[in-house]
Structure 1
């Protein structure tokens, strides 16, 4: 078993102004030089940092990787520059990327499980979800919620309120019990879900902090015994999906729907825990990829043997790339994809970590909205109504919208900045997508223009009536009112050193 490290001192309940004056003066007055701090932190030269989809990049001179909490504290306290923590660079909007003249911090050296006790794991924020799952599995545990990918660091996972799918299962932040954060103004703080009064308010506000308050060092997160899932994948019509949505999302622990524009096809991926003692026939019959392969061989120029070796996401990219902005061609691609999903129906049995992590496709633009399923005063059904309105708007506009538009569900979170803020509620998440299928800069720019313009505006217009909020890692534009968020930022980071151009645009600070 693991052992816990020494706990950090907690923030006292002095008046805010007193705390700010005393702590900020103490931290800035430390007899530690900037170069002393950097000498403790391994660094790497780099010219450009680029996110996974290639949609955002940032130029910087060096990235520093502190090997210990002590080195991280010294670095944050000593540098006079802006400071921004960058993880795996997966966010579609480049949320973590530093602006110019920024000290870039990467926590790849802080990637250790510090303790596991009473179903709570303490983990350094630089550890990836994938690596944490591997360590937890050795002890018979897993995380209670998983997003679609596992390469993100725990710091990024929590800071943006990443989510999986399943009623009653909140975003990952809903399972955080406490965390340690290194701030420019107060040094190391530890905040806990069990705190009360003002400290609990700080916990809820900073938990989904978007990197704006400092650098999170570690989290204590509730874990659950690892389990296997029996996953059922099948296709419904839109009418059937609307009819069965309520029962499906309540009958299955994990359930998501994938809607295809211009096609009367809704893919359902639903799973429940299973011990494997009574399993149906697993797998699918025939070659589900045949419709997509035949279309690519007919219309494309790739060698037939090469086409036969491509997976589903690669086939979709190659097909779309033939005329990615032509709505009529995209309709044909979606039709071939619909035939794939119908042939790919069946059962799969595996661990939760393998089935809940899945291939999201190639480089892409994505916008994800979140809203309560009772939005607009409805007792139920806002999630189904949203999808019908969105698809109608896309198809009426004639957008070259590929599939799938993914729909997932979660419980709420106490975190103030979570898009699913509100304990006790049921929330729905819907993601629209366009794939960047080529390296041709001109075509990529046109795809970007279509998605960030017409497609995004359309989704936001439909979402407005449902009170929808945007997933932080997928928000590209627009400002939000965040008076309390900014007030605490100015307390913990008086000089605004932890933000970047994106946070300035969104929050005005």
Structure 2
């Protein structure tokens, strides 16, 4: 029985759910966007015995948001108020639909921020913590570790308050639980004072990056690598915290890269050579004058899509991009909020793994093996293979869960990507190629490096590698059993256990 209410945004009508990267879609029978907690409780009470999938902003690039079940979906996107700020204790209380961008703007007014930031700012706070999202920094935790209190409406329609002091491991499990404990309606997060960074972008050969890698990740607050397949190089981002005084002293002398048309010269030349029969320009100079305003991302995506499954073409594009990054090396000082978040690009397939670092250079060894696999198997792998770091989490479901000493445990995250086109027939072939790419990584390297997948990017239901899921289930069986026992306290009938979550938790 569908809930009948007067508000049109909570009407239980069918809705086509499409994720951010437009790679997954699902038509649900009833879709709700409640305005408040009372409406959430009514939806739960009237739909006892049925499944309810919970959604935020649907930013996950894979299928965990839309899912495949045709039943009920409930989004908390309308619960988007910042409720309170305790400046003395640096605590902020928010509703689940508050987006990262909104929260950062609010906190900046009080010279506060979060301890770390993900790549994109369109996610809701609930989605951010429920999937153990991360930024980068070897000594910095995933974002759910900022939580100090959660209020959740369980399957009975009761509102429950969870804290570490009162609930211990149950609280830590609920922090990162894919919405399976119930509908989160309020979150309290610990903030930190806002800070400034010196961002240094360097292009290095792989041996050069290795030479001072250990010191780099240990001493610099945020480090990120963008590995460039087929080139033997990596783009190294270093974000070192600096004082406000140093920021004021250095801001005027920040090293701004050269003119955009010079930065993009190799990409522009390749674009002209690839598309000149379709261009109305008699000379290359005329073409550059018109196309120099095109962004780096637009040029790269157009070039990739020219022959997206041809490894020789992708290799050439990657080398043109290498030239772009060599001409983009710089040192810039700015507020952390403005340097750590960036635009992730257009339609794409993404997978990301986390794994423990148990020996020096182990995380670079993994990437070397992936790069070798790309080379020997002639995989059309574009730039980048992104690599980031974090310490451990106290949440059982987090890919970086650490049984003991999470704050000193070391993990790395590695993400792979393939871009999609406007041609859906071609996209099916790209999807097959991407799944084969991913499959070779998990089959050859999964057990060796103890890989676990980012919960927001895991390939649930369709396209999942069965062998890897069996390996994952066996390796995590004890943790998953403990998590499911705690989840069942809140939801014994599995009202909030979507088919995607069930696949992950089996």
2:454 matches 1:467: no
What's the counterpart of residue 211 of structure 1?
179
CA offsets 1:47-85 (integer angstroms, 9 cap, x no match):
411111111111024422222222222322332331112
* CA deviation vs aligned residue, 1:156-179 (integer Å, no higher than 9, x gap): 100000000012110101111111
CA distance in 1, matches of 2:51, 2:146: 30
Alignment of 1:95-244 (within 5 A): 95-117=64-86, 118-185=89-156, 187-195=158-166, 199-244=167-212
The answer to whether the 8 Å contact 2:27/2:70 transfers is no
Match of 1:483, SS state, is helix
Change (3 A) 1:140 1:501: same
TM-score by length of 1: 0.87
Separation of aligned partners in 2, 1:497 and 1:300: 53
2:237 paired residue number:
269
1:464, 1:127 → 2: CA distance? Answer: 38
Cα distance in 2 between the residues matched to 1:295 and 1:34: 56
Point out the more displaced range, 232-241 or 82-91. Answer: 82-91
Separation of aligned partners in 1, 2:71 and 2:98:
23
Match for residue 269 of structure 2?
294
Q: Does structure 2 conserve the Cα–Cα contact (< 8 Å) formed by 1:234 and 1:267?
A: yes
Matches within 5 A, 1:3-402: 35=3, 38-39=5-6, 42-43=9-10, 45=13, 47-80=15-48, 81-117=50-86, 118-185=89-156, 187-195=158-166, 199-274=167-242, 275=244, 276-279=247-250, 280-286=253-259, 287-301=262-276, 303=279, 304=287, 307-374=291-358, 378=359, 380-402=360-382
1:40 deviation in Å? 6.6
Q: How far did 1:46 drift?
A: 5.3
CA distance in structure 2 between the partners assigned to 1:260 and 1:332 by the alignment = 11
Match of 2:283 in 1: none
Deviations 1:310-334 (A, max 9, x none): 2111111100111100010000000
Match of 2:482 in 1: 484
Residues 246 and 166 (structure 1 numbering): CA distance in 2 closer, same or farther, change over 3 Å? same
The answer as to whether partners of 2:19 and 2:65 remain within 8 angstroms in 1 is no
Q: C-alpha deviations, 1:277-332, integer Å up to 9, x for none? A: 33244211232111111111111256436632321111111001111000100000
Matched-pair contact (CA < 8 Å) for 2:52–2:73? yes
Contact 2:41 2:157 in 1 (8 A): no
> 1:427 is matched with which residue?
411
| 1:493 and 2:468 matched | no
Q: Does the CA contact (< 8 Å) of 2:44 and 2:157 recur in 1?
A: no
1:444 aligns with 2:427: yes
Counterpart-to-counterpart distance in 1, 2:125 and 2:140: 18
Distance in 2, matches of 1:456 and 1:361, equals 24
Distance of 2:442 and 2:295 partners within structure 1: 29
- 1:124: how far off? 0.6
Conserved 8 A contact 1:83-1:98? no
Distance 1:459 1:211 in 2: 26
Give every structure 1 segment of 4 or more consecutive aligned residues whose post-TM-superposition deviation is greater than 6 Å.
Answer: none
1:46–1:282 Cα change, 3 Å: farther
Q: 1:335 & 1:250 partners in 2: Cα distance?
A: 30
Superposed CA RMSD in Å reads: 1.9
| Alignment size in residue pairs | 467
Cα 1:93–1:306 shift into 2, 3 Å = farther
Match of 1:20?
none
Once residues 493 and 40 of structure 1 are traced to their aligned partners in structure 2, the CA distance between those partners, rounded to angstroms, is: 28
Counterpart-to-counterpart distance in 2, 1:470 and 1:139? 36
- Distance, in Å, in 1 between the alignment partners of 2:373 and 2:447 is 14
Q: Does the residue aligned with 2:184 lie in a helix, a strand or coil?
A: strand
- Distance in 2 (CA, whole Å) between partners of 1:327 and 1:306 is 29
CA contact (8 A) 2:45 2:157 kept: no
Does the Cα contact within 8 Å between 1:300 and 1:319 map onto a contact in 2?
Answer: no
Would you say the 8 A contact 2:57–2:77 is kept in 1? no
* Deviation sequence 1:90-113 (CA, Å, 0-9, x none): 112221225434222121221111
For the 8 Å contact 1:99–1:500, the answer to whether it is kept is no
Counterpart CA distance in 2 for 1:63 and 1:254 is 40
Hey, what's the Cα distance between the residues in 1 that align with 2:6 and 2:483?
33
1:39 deviates by 4.8
* Cα pair distance change 1:109/1:282, threshold 3 Å: same
Task: Check whether the contact 2:254–2:333 (CA below 8 A) recurs between aligned residues.
Answer: no
Q: Secondary structure, in 3 states, of the residue corresponding to 1:417?
A: coil
Q: Is the 8 A contact 2:309 2:430 kept in 1?
A: yes
What are the ranges of 5 or more consecutive residues in structure 1 without an aligned counterpart? 1-32
**Partner residue, 1:504:** 502
Q: Post-superposition shift, 1:505? A: 2.6
Distance 1:456 1:348, change over 3 A: farther
Deviations 1:443-464 (A, max 9, x none): 1001100111233332452232
